[in-house]
Structure 1
Amino acid sequence: MRTKQRTTPSRITAIIAAAVVAGLVLAGCGARPASVTEAGGGPKFALSDSTPAPAKDIDNFTWAMYAEPFSLDYAYAFDYPDNTVLSNVCESLFRWNADLSTSPGLATGVENPDPLTWVYTIRQGVKFHDGSEMTADDVVASLSRHLNPAVGSFWASSYQNVESIEKTGEYQVTVTTTRPDYVFNASLVGAPGVVESAKTLEAAGKDYGNSSTGVNCTGPFSFDAWEPGESITLKRFDEYWDPDLKAKSRQVTFTMLPDATSRINAFQTGEIDGGFAIPSNAMDILKANKDAGSVYFGKDTSVQSMVFTNLGGTFKDVKVRKALMMAINREALIKAAEQGYASKTDALTTRNVWKDASHETTDEAFNGLLATPYDVAEAKKLVKEAGAEGSKFVFATASLNAAFDITARAIASAAKEIGLDPEIQTMSNDKYTTLFSDPEARKNVDLLVTSWYLSSTEPLEMYSVLRTGDFSNYGGWSNPEFDDLVNSAYGVQDPDARGKLTGQAARIASEDVVWGPLYETVTTMWLGKRITGADPSINYMYFPWAAKIGGL
């Protein structure tokens, strides 16, 4: 569902629930905006590149999960829980490092002899968890699944321009595209580049990646057991090919703890050793409890946004979409929902993913975006001009956590204040997840909220999903000029020139308020006193982060 679910312990829930009402009302009367500084003026948090190196190997550690993975099939691994586990078991052709750079993975290199050809040299001596050796045949079989309509890969759009995937040597694979595509290669750090045993894929069939079958990949951990609703256990793979990333723990257990109170209490008592996506409203409590462990902050690519999933109803007119954005006091929302552990943005990407573009190009892209300052009077005027006063819409939400609840209430309250009539449709966590993969589930929904992360340092990845007919273009928005810019950018080799085209496309999507960006977040991680070694970076989605964890 692409939603980083942030929950909060019960002992502070009541405080925050009250604070959101007071905070948003006071902010409307001229209260100071939220900031990322402490009361004394110092920084609220600082980003860390890493954590202390471990001193020893350990037998096991436990990791909290706020939800159960949808699947361990890389073709359907489209959310935080799925990839948090899968990144330690299955590997891609390239690695995504903690600083969001790329380095060789299961491919030792790539050549681009002409605009339509990518030639990958496959690493030799790599073994799958069943002991068989990886070859070019396995790479071809794994990548080709994204082209197979019968599979229905959630990552098929990454392969939109791929014409063929062929073995051109014992350890060489050649991908041919129908048109120049300089974004394709960047996607291979994630799920689109995962390699699985061809024999396993054939033998498992439709059961591949489920709780009974698991996966058979090349990572530092192998699949051991999946107890639905309870836990997933991985065990160290002693024949792993990379000695620098040999797992320092014999076993890791991912425990499903969707209840906020249980999860945070488990951190503080030592029952659970660590976890990502720490509830922001519990952050100060955990930071203060230094005897139990430490909270770390790192690079992220996530933006919390409203997604207009029906552009044929209340939100048909861009004036209404813009009005709703202007009716939300985002600074007060960040303070109430995220306790200041976030920052306001008008963009659908963070600057982190513009890594390969120049500062000038990045500044131009961000400065050209539509600004929607908090202005209720102007928002009411826009709604009236659009003839949308009293218009109803269905706002889908779930009781994922306190921050999510606060955001949902703030949006609904803002909509009512400017004359709209929201109908809140609260769903179970699992049902909410399906909104992002099943068009039928979204059939009667007009609005939802997501924390959308990018899986590479390529901003075009975000804007490509807003093209006409794309899998993740949930509202069915269509703009030929936008489509042309994005499609043209795919064929531009120079990242800075590609960034300029992406910036132009971003402005169009921003002016049309296709999605409504609220704020951007940072990656958060808790490590108990028993373990250390993991990097606090969004790269954990596609890098074998658990292999680095050992004992103090």
Structure 2
Amino acid sequence: MIIKKVLAASAVVLSVAVAGCGGGSGGGPATAAAIELTETTPAATGDVDSVTWALPSGEPASLDPARTGDYSANTVGTNLCESLLRLNTDYSTSPGLASAVTQKDATTVVITLRDGVTFWDGAALTADDVVYSLKRNMDPKLASYSAHVFANVKTIAKTGPLEVTVTFTAPDMQFVPDLAGVPGAIIEEKYATTAAAGFGTASGGLMCTGPFRLDSWQSGQKITLKRNETYWDTARKAKAASFRFVFLTDSSTLTSALLSGEVDGVYGAPAGSIAALQKTSVGKLYFGPSTETFSLGAVATDGPAADPRIRQALDLAIDKTSFVTSVLKGAGEPLKTFTPPMAWNGSPAKSVYDAGYAALPDTSKADLAKAEQLVADASPSRTDLVIALPAGDQSLLQTATIAQAAAQQIGLKMTIKQLQAAEFAGLFYDPALRKGIDFIATTGYLEVPGALYYAPGFVLKGALFNWTNYEDPEVTENIVTAVSATDPAASARAFVAAQAIFGPAKLQITLAESYNRLFLNKRVTGAPASFSYISSAWAAQVGTA
């Protein structure tokens, strides 16, 4: 599965699927009873000379943190360029390059840096590097994928040798958690300014502080990392002397490479290969908690898809439990809304969020009678719909096919339209490309904690992903309150109040959460099994089993 998050200056982040891992080889579906979730794998017992890892989503376009926002780039880049905070396996955060990030008041955040951290070239990490790294995300010429995170930022300034202060035009509850992801990644200013446009590319290279350094990048073949022998955190020094990433986008080829031992591991193991990977003695398939979701997104400002009754009808016509079995091979669970519970797993207001989620309507089982009635009530001007998906993504093709069959059962006709990856990605940002399309079949994920990661972009007027022009004054008021609150419980209560209204509107017809699928050859262990790998230096933990 590969996704592109092609964000420029926008108000919110969304990770968007543009191609996929597909079916793959190997037997029938695993059953839910055979799946046990775990956040971690057994700790490594020692160092290992080399590890070969597959990138099923292909070669990264860039490893510059400002250009990092998809599976491949994150999987590699977070082991090179560290962030100010660390993302833990349970989606809580802890100190990273910053020893502390303090919300001094509603519009002021103070970042205290660790002393003694050095870049790969031996230069000390300074407050100037942090100011540079953060501020470049605000440069419209760079068009950073993380620009949305800094939408409310007023100033970023050095206020001490190891201190940086960020001020805001308005409070922003989501800013601090975002520092655990690529928005908080730090690079060396001197190197980056010299490399200019080449920074983060195969020719321009990188200069960061992580447990691995970029050794070589052979375009079209592989990326090789080398252990950083002078890494500042000795307890997390990389166990592998060399870590090689290979690009294997074909599911059958990838499965064969895993079963033969040619490749040591992969995140996003093909869902269609679950049975084969569970049976083999070559290694072990792990399932971890995740923030990945499968959804049908309404992308039309008028017509049937813009009518909440049609969206609700389509939602009720799809049996989510059967979807998990047929598409995810049991490795997932139905979801009630587009923000999965893991998003707030580490929040002090977790109980408030949990109660709000529990109170949402459960539509995991199909209700065709109610769905048909909603269509009749809506009396749409047309009953023909178009659903788009990225060509080659077998999981999303299955998803669209299921939606097509469900639509037919309630008196709607749905035509499937497959687009090339770049064209599909453009749908999310160019209204002209969405003409003639009613829905998209897509996946998404949250790369950092926070219930406010998704919602503002879907429900606020004029937001980048508010494709149906949804507007509700009470939702707007509560989301703005949630973003502005400095008390976690107050923010959670406001979010839950908004979710109770926008959730049933099914702006995204969320079908399921997809568990993280990690396969490890029996010779290695230590990688986190949860989806936290997407924003953490996970490869440093992989060593001898």
The TM-score with structure 1 as length reference comes to 0.90
Q: Show the 5 A alignment for 1:383-532.
A: 383-388=375-380, 390-436=382-428, 441-466=433-458, 467-532=460-525
Residues 210 and 516 of structure 1: is their aligned pair in 2 closer, same or farther, counting only changes over 3 Å? same
1:158 and 2:154 equivalent?
A: no
**Which amino acid in the other structure matches residue 312 of structure 2?**
K
Q: Distance in 1 between matches of 2:498 and 2:448?
A: 18
Which residue, 314, 322, 327 being the options, matches 2:317?
A: 327
Specify the SS of the correspondent of 1:461: coil
1:293 and 2:283 equivalent?
A: yes
Q: 2:372·2:410 contact (CA, 8 Å) conserved in 1? A: yes
Which residue, 32, 35, 54 being the options, matches 1:36?
A: 32
Q: Distance in 2 between matches of 1:423 and 1:45?
A: 34
Residues 238 and 474 of structure 1: is their aligned pair in 2 closer, same or farther, counting only changes over 3 Å? farther
Deviations 1:246-292 (A, max 9, x none): 11111111111110100011000001000011222311221111x21
Deviation (angstroms), 1:66: 1.2
What residue is the counterpart of 1:56 in the other structure? 46
Deviations 1:121-152 (A, max 9, x none): 11222222233221111111111122222222
Deviation (angstroms), 1:73: 2.1
Q: Distance in 1 between matches of 2:463 and 2:291?
A: 21
1:74 and 2:65 equivalent?
A: yes
Deviation (angstroms), 1:493: 2.0
Q: 2:173·2:486 contact (CA, 8 Å) conserved in 1? A: yes
Q: 1:54·1:533 contact (CA, 8 Å) conserved in 2? A: yes
Deviation (angstroms), 1:333: 1.5
Specify the SS of the correspondent of 1:460: coil
**Which amino acid in the other structure matches residue 173 of structure 1?**
V
Q: Distance in 2 between matches of 1:59 and 1:368?
A: 51
Specify the SS of the correspondent of 1:52: coil
What residue is the counterpart of 2:293 in the other structure? 303
Cα-Cα RMSD: 2.2
Specify the SS of the correspondent of 1:297: strand
Q: Distance in 1 between matches of 2:437 and 2:194?
A: 39
1:187 and 2:178 equivalent?
A: yes
* Structure 1 unaligned spans of 5+: 17-33, 38-43
Q: 2:21·2:250 contact (CA, 8 Å) conserved in 1? A: no
Q: 2:20·2:394 contact (CA, 8 Å) conserved in 1? A: no
Q: Distance in 1 between matches of 2:504 and 2:408?
A: 23
Specify the SS of the correspondent of 2:32: coil
Stretch deviating more after TM superposition (141-150 or 162-171): 141-150
Deviation (angstroms), 1:545: 0.5
Q: Distance in 2 between matches of 1:167 and 1:77?
A: 25
Q: 1:181·1:491 contact (CA, 8 Å) conserved in 2? A: yes
Q: Show the 5 A alignment for 1:174-323.
A: 174-289=165-280, 291-323=281-313
Residues 10 and 283 of structure 1: is their aligned pair in 2 closer, same or farther, counting only changes over 3 Å? closer
Residues 35 and 256 of structure 1: is their aligned pair in 2 closer, same or farther, counting only changes over 3 Å? closer
Residues 551 and 474 of structure 1: is their aligned pair in 2 closer, same or farther, counting only changes over 3 Å? farther
Q: Distance in 2 between matches of 1:351 and 1:123?
A: 32
Q: 1:157·1:471 contact (CA, 8 Å) conserved in 2? A: no
Deviation (angstroms), 1:443: 4.9
**Which amino acid in the other structure matches residue 297 of structure 1?**
F
Q: 1:389·1:419 contact (CA, 8 Å) conserved in 2? A: no
Deviation (angstroms), 1:36: 2.3
Q: 1:302·1:349 contact (CA, 8 Å) conserved in 2? A: no
Stretch deviating more after TM superposition (479-488 or 280-289): 479-488
Residues 433 and 233 of structure 1: is their aligned pair in 2 closer, same or farther, counting only changes over 3 Å? farther
Specify the SS of the correspondent of 2:360: coil
What residue is the counterpart of 2:24 in the other structure? 9
Deviations 1:44-82 (A, max 9, x none): 221223222223322211111112223322223222221
Residues 435 and 450 of structure 1: is their aligned pair in 2 closer, same or farther, counting only changes over 3 Å? same
**Which amino acid in the other structure matches residue 52 of structure 1?**
P
Specify the SS of the correspondent of 2:156: strand
**Which amino acid in the other structure matches residue 407 of structure 2?**
A
Residues 412 and 207 of structure 1: is their aligned pair in 2 closer, same or farther, counting only changes over 3 Å? farther
What residue is the counterpart of 1:369 in the other structure? 360
1:172 and 2:163 equivalent?
A: yes
Q: 2:26·2:272 contact (CA, 8 Å) conserved in 1? A: no
What residue is the counterpart of 2:77 in the other structure? 86
Count of aligned residue pairs for this structure pair: 526
Q: Distance in 1 between matches of 2:299 and 2:311?
A: 11
Residues 196 and 473 of structure 1: is their aligned pair in 2 closer, same or farther, counting only changes over 3 Å? farther
Deviation (angstroms), 1:430: 4.8
Identity level (%): 34
Q: Distance in 1 between matches of 2:218 and 2:374?
A: 52
Deviations 1:512-552 (A, max 9, x none): 21111101122120000221111111111111110111123
The TM-score with structure 2 as length reference comes to 0.91
Q: Distance in 2 between matches of 1:305 and 1:416?
A: 18
Q: Distance in 2 between matches of 1:92 and 1:483?
A: 31
Q: 2:32·2:331 contact (CA, 8 Å) conserved in 1? A: yes
Stretch deviating more after TM superposition (69-78 or 231-240): 69-78
1:124 and 2:115 equivalent?
A: yes
Q: 1:281·1:402 contact (CA, 8 Å) conserved in 2? A: no
Deviations 1:400-436 (A, max 9, x none): 4443322121012222332333232212345434444
